[in-house]
Structure 1
């Protein structure tokens, strides 16, 4: 109300109250906007992983490439036109030379030079291993590449790890040894993995050993320009690195920055060689698996269960037991986990199963009877199960002098839709107390298995068939009198 051309006291009071209400509304609205912005932009930065080794997530691109890798022992030959692949030696050399910042290696032991074995003489087959050692030394010194090595505690003269000691002494690398007696009560770090710049990696059967390059038959996969998958692999290495700390124990719960989103409920889609693939990285033993990580045994069982027509397995040792440890202080246990699932696939689903084991100077006498028991299923399902043994011939004096060589050391499985490449032999100890990893690649399209010859599944299938039908594969027969 106006009085003498001005406001009354009542009107001034009303206006003041309205202005205060307006200010409160503006302040509350501003606070809400700031809260939304904080939730979207600030909090993710505050609570994201602080690990110094983490790198920003990079989406998979068409540059992702997977290459099958083999070591074919000297004097083991195949007919012209047989499948062949890049060598383990060339792959490791490529990884070293391509490194710009980091090289992480997880391994059982190191014997890149023959003098580590306390054997005398000239060994031409060791030249490739010696080259790998020299290039790692140059990478860690001249090129300032950060090299980290996770390995099992050395076992005296049998596995001295002199290569690692020399690299560390020269400040070319940092190393940590995992004590599995303390961590798991038994077992070893049996993983064989190289990781470069969180962008490229190798996984397979080859130990860091000159023999794995020229005297032992090995198989693995190299993945290039694939940060999305390599970053997931780096989390597996970080588990080993943490467990290699002084006095380390397996934590009841792993840090959140080591969890993974990628498993069989949510596979990582990778355009391998311009072909869509669904990929999962698995790990053993289960206590080494942070949240979301598939255990290696569960990955193997999943691949077996998903097979529709065939399962082909190449593995050095196949035993449905957990062997005794420590002079039998830990007794042998029956462990038919894989065995039962294979028999179920053959008997109930009519899946053809082929197992290619290895026969050499150190084959377990227990393995052959277990493998023969598979042959009985032939009588039920019309030859749906078959077993052979692959023998690498020994022909030169050098090959006779070098211990623990001339063996098919492969550890893989291929089905009608999946390729699986692992680092573990197939007895129960490797999945319960021993560390290993597996790479599962599914190239199956919506209308069935891919016919693309560039897929890992097709290449692995060709390798298996090459070996199964070669002169080096022997039929598994029953002893005379049985």
Structure 2
């Protein structure tokens, strides 16, 4: 039957019922969509309700409970590095190997600071108040303190310092606080049974100094020191800043975190060093720290850094440190600690690596050091291994002899055919197990350079000192009392 044959009333009725059916379908579709949207909204509201307290609890968690995701980034800064030294008055080398003085480097860093200066330090005696004398060579230290005081009134100056013992003066620290510096004392004796022995600066979060020199006037004119200044290198300064922030945090706690907060973690270490341009030459660089309990995730402990540098050497290992002892120097009862000593013997014996140790001798030298040095030196005599040990002595005239804790080679560095290592620790077990220290490790051997690399410059410094008249070889017939 054609549609035209159907009565009009029926047609209208059918079309109306069809429209009603289609309308019902649309209605139900809208209802389903609305229901879904309402359900999603309710879920989101529920999640928000759940996540808010979680976020709040996360911020209140102990540091080690937080997660982190760090990404290795390419450092594009035009980083520049320079070795700096303090050569004590009266010490003269027959060599052209000279570097800017630490005093001049510190003055330049202070005068150029625009926004901030962070200093990690062991103690402060820049004014000669500890000796109660009128030593004229203290003037450089006094000038540094005055400049730091002036700077503290202009920019953010933060100082993390080891809690002073009863014998350590605090006049310099009081002066800086009164000048506007923010000072926090870190009680490492309570936290790790050690001290905060680190010595570094971070300026404007892009320049750094690290090395052996304490904040002591003698470190500028009466003690032989070595360090490095790195300029225009925010990526490296940021990583060193994480070590500083860890010290800053320790002032506010009675225990070292079992796991450090993510903001202190790093992706740069001995296995994945930072890749950057250093004096126009490609370099692999990282910062190590001690003791292990102060190393956040990713940070290479200082001892592991030293063992790695020695272990990677193919031709030579040259070491210049004030103290060298395979013991826990300050522990009671006495403990033997042979980690570094064993590594040196291993590379000399297994791979015929040339080993040279330049160790200091002065009034405060521990006599027990000499039998251990004799033991190393005897390997050359008896087993024909290429190990030599020399003692470096800074000469003193009668006036200089009256200056306490002066006239010593205080260097703390190592150089191999591959790596330059510049640290802040003496080489005995306590400094790597209990005491806070840090080091800069630079490798430029994979790059072609028309200028001397850091490793080559440091090698020249070592060989200058090694060949100087101030160094004496130690062997089985050496009488120690005539050396020191």
Same fold, TM-score > 0.5, yes or no: yes
Which runs of 5 or more residues in structure 1 are unaligned? 32-43
Check the 8 A contact 1:62/1:272 in 2, yes or no. Answer: no
Distance 1:196 1:57 in 2: 23
Check the 8 A contact 1:57/1:228 in 2, yes or no. Answer: no
Distance 1:102 1:62 in 2: 19
Of 70, 82, 104, which aligns to 1:67?
82
Distance 1:279 1:74 in 2: 33
Partner SS for 1:301: helix
Partner of 1:35: none
What is the correspondence of 1:143-182 to structure 2 with a 5 Å cutoff? 143=154, 145-157=155-167, 159-168=168-177, 170-182=178-190
Partner of 1:9: 20
Distance 1:204 1:480 in 2: 31
How far did 1:13 drift?
A: 3.3
Partner SS for 1:95: helix
Matched, 1:120 2:133: yes
Distance 2:290 2:19 in 1: 84
Check the 8 A contact 1:347/1:381 in 2, yes or no. Answer: no
What is the correspondence of 1:4-403 to structure 2 with a 5 Å cutoff? 7-17=18-28, 60-80=75-95, 82-114=96-128, 116-121=129-134, 123-141=135-153, 143=154, 145-157=155-167, 159-168=168-177, 170-184=178-192, 186-245=193-252, 248-325=254-331, 330-379=332-381, 382-395=384-397, 397-403=398-404
Partner SS for 1:407: coil
Distance 2:38 2:314 in 1: 64
How far did 1:265 drift?
A: 2.5
Partner of 1:407: 408
Partner SS for 1:376: helix
Distance 2:453 2:33 in 1: 66
Partner SS for 2:390: strand
1:155-189: per-residue Cα shift (whole Å, max 9, x none)?
233x2131011211x242121222223112x2211
**RMSD, aligned CA:** 3.1
Partner SS for 2:78: coil
Q: Computing the radius of gyration over CA atoms, which structure comes out larger, 1 or 2?
A: 2
Partner SS for 1:294: coil
Partner of 2:50: none
Distance 1:444 1:10 in 2: 83
Check the 8 A contact 1:62/1:273 in 2, yes or no. Answer: no
Distance 1:392 1:263 in 2: 36
Structure 1 pair 284/22, CA: closer, same or farther in 2 (3 Å)? same
Higher alpha-carbon deviation: 348-357 or 257-266: 257-266
Structure 1 pair 264/253, CA: closer, same or farther in 2 (3 Å)? same
Check the 8 A contact 2:140/2:217 in 1, yes or no. Answer: yes
Paired residues, number: 451
How far did 1:425 drift?
A: 0.4
Partner of 1:34: none
Partner SS for 1:91: helix
Distance 2:158 2:304 in 1: 29
Structure 1 segments (4+ residues) deviating >4 Å: 1-7, 15-31, 56-59, 449-452
Partner of 1:459: 457
Distance 1:430 1:412 in 2: 14
TM-score, with structure 2 as normaliser: 0.86
Distance 2:383 2:361 in 1: 27
Partner SS for 1:386: strand
Check the 8 A contact 1:321/1:336 in 2, yes or no. Answer: yes
Structure 1 pair 481/148, CA: closer, same or farther in 2 (3 Å)? closer
Structure 1 pair 191/276, CA: closer, same or farther in 2 (3 Å)? same
Check the 8 A contact 1:308/1:351 in 2, yes or no. Answer: yes
Distance 2:184 2:391 in 1: 37
Distance 1:200 1:481 in 2: 45
Distance 1:390 1:450 in 2: 34
1:370-393: per-residue Cα shift (whole Å, max 9, x none)?
111112222466341111111111
Partner SS for 1:97: helix
Check the 8 A contact 2:347/2:353 in 1, yes or no. Answer: yes
Which runs of 5 or more residues in structure 2 are unaligned? 1-10, 43-54, 64-70
Distance 1:253 1:463 in 2: 39
How far did 1:62 drift?
A: 4.3
Structure 1 pair 210/72, CA: closer, same or farther in 2 (3 Å)? same
TM-score, with structure 1 as normaliser: 0.86
How far did 1:443 drift?
A: 1.0
